[in-house]
Amino acid sequence: MLRSMFSGKRLLAGLAAMALVVAACSSGGSVKSGKVTLTFWSWVPHLQSEIALFEKAHPNIHVNLVNAGQGAAEYTKLRTALKAGSGAPDVVQIEFQYLPTFEQIHGLLDISKYGANSIKGAYVPWAWSQVSKGSAVYAIPQDSGPMGLLYRKDIFAKYHLTVPTTWAQFAQTAAKLHAANPNIYLTDLPTNDPGWMNGVLWQAGWRPFQVSGSTISVSIDQPAGVRVADYWGNLVRQHLVATDPDFTSGWYSALGTGKYAAWVTAAWGPVFLSGVAGKTAGKWRAAPIPQWTPGANVSANWGGSTDAVTTQTAHPQQAAELAMWINHDMTSAQMLATKSFLFPTLTGLLDNSSFADAKLPFYGGQEVNKIFIDSSKQVNLSFEWSPFQDYVYSQMGTYLGQAVNGKISFAGAMQQLQGNVVSYAKAQGFTVKP
């Protein structure tokens, strides 16, 4: 797979390369008008097949599919077009964490007036909460990354390790393994990857932002955030986890050679891992993400994207129909899951036995999908992103890198990030609440 497909975004993977036998259905609301052409910016691979299905079902709509770059490359072009007042596409792929950025500059159309809320019940609640505000709907969920744990069963068996169900047990297991074999770490802490760190913080109850118009509450260094930072900081100081940058050649090699005995990852991780560590087939298994409270079932999300309609579209009804249909029509959604390997947000796919019961050979025939399906249902709905998440991620990476290098403490990294983001928010014209 291309390195760029997983660079910081971790969107374009899923769990099962198998066909789902699911009845096709429509998002409803047929569009009756003259022939129109829509421009759709997306980096999803093989999407032209789904577009062909859409055009067959909507003969009066032609879709011009454009790959304007992935993630940041596309967003730069989109911001430029929105600022210029022309040049934006009708429909655009946007990751969950960047929706507020484009909502804030009034670049996204509220498509509730075109029937978006009629399909709300078809999606897992947390994903829908990410694309809506009250009755307003600014995008349709496309894929997601509920989190879990992948681990090397052979390494765990060799060193008599028990799969940890809590983070306290995770730390104990890390110490036991590294004492038995200093060349193996239980996992890697990729401080170059703020998306990963955001995910583990989210799971711990970290809620850094609350946004209402131009007023924002910033609480990055709240106790939940400091707790997680200190936890990983202690593992780093004791040299119990690696601190390698992820999605690099060295990191890929480490996954394949057994340097890491586990990977805290997202729902796209199983398929991705089978592609980069093929020689370890049969040795890996999946488990739920460890919990901060014994017996709890709380998860979080790392990755995922949406399709939104821009305010520059001249055909809002048709554009809204494209965003809804491409992700809600069951045949199209099935293709996104099985050909593009996007982890579904549609409950109809998640609950389908052909998907849930799939036995994946790379994982010794384990029904891995079920682990992440359960995780998807356990993601807390209350997490909010900032309207400048690219800046937050950039600064988070900087300060966590300094913490790993011993220049500041991990708790200090959260405190410095707090002060920096507050100053930035004020400079951008936001009123910052304590």
Domain that holds residue 294: 147-300+383-433
Identify whether residues 323 and 360 lie together within a single domain: yes
> 238 and 154: one domain?
yes
**Domain match, 281 and 292 both:** yes
422 and 283 within one domain: yes
* Triad 306, 307, 311: Cα angle to 5°: 130
**pTM flag (> 0.85):** yes
Q: Are strands 431-433 and 215-218 parallel, antiparallel or unpaired?
A: parallel
Neighbours of 367 (CB within 10 A): 16
Residue 303 to residue 40: CA distance in whole angstroms: 21
**315 and 346, same domain (yes or no):** yes
Are 192 and 43 members of one domain?
Answer: no
Euclidean distance between CA atoms 410 and 232, whole angstroms: 8
Which single residue is written with the structure tokens 């586990």? 262
Spatial neighbors of 139 by CB under 8 A, at least 6 apart, are 94, 99, 108, 131, 306, 307, 308, 323
* One domain for residues 293 and 316: no
Structure tokens at 364: 């010794």
CA distance 34 to 115: 20
Are residues 424 and 330 part of one domain?
Answer: no
Query: Where among 353, 376, 399 does a domain terminate?
Result: 376
Distance CA 363, CA 386 (A): 37
Question: In 3-state terms, what secondary structure has residue 229?
Answer: helix
Output the domain CATH number for residue 106.
3.40.190.10
Last residue of a domain, one of 358, 376, 394: 376
What's the CA dihedral at 218, 223, 228, 234 to 10 degrees?
Answer: 130
Residues 101 and 43 in one domain: yes
Q: Which of 348, 376, 404 is the last residue of a domain?
A: 376
Same domain, 168 and 277: yes
> Whose CA is closest to 432, among 421, 384, 414, 222?
421
395/319 same-domain check: no
Do 277 and 188 fall into the same domain?
Answer: yes
pLDDT in tens, the chain (434 residues): 333 334 333 433 333 333 333 333 334 444 445 799 999 999 999 999 999 999 999 999 999 999 999 999 999 999 999 999 999 999 999 999 999 999 999 999 999 999 999 999 999 999 999 999 999 999 999 999 999 999 999 999 999 999 999 999 999 999 999 999 999 999 999 989 999 999 999 999 999 999 999 999 999 999 999 999 999 999 999 999 999 999 999 999 999 999 999 999 999 999 999 999 999 999 999 999 999 999 999 999 999 999 999 999 999 999 999 999 999 999 999 999 988 889 999 999 999 998 999 999 999 999 999 999 999 999 988 899 999 999 999 999 999 999 999 999 999 999 999 999 999 999 999 999 97
Count of the separate structural domains present in the chain: 2
Q: How far is CA 185 from CA 233, 244, 285, in A?
A: 15, 11, 17
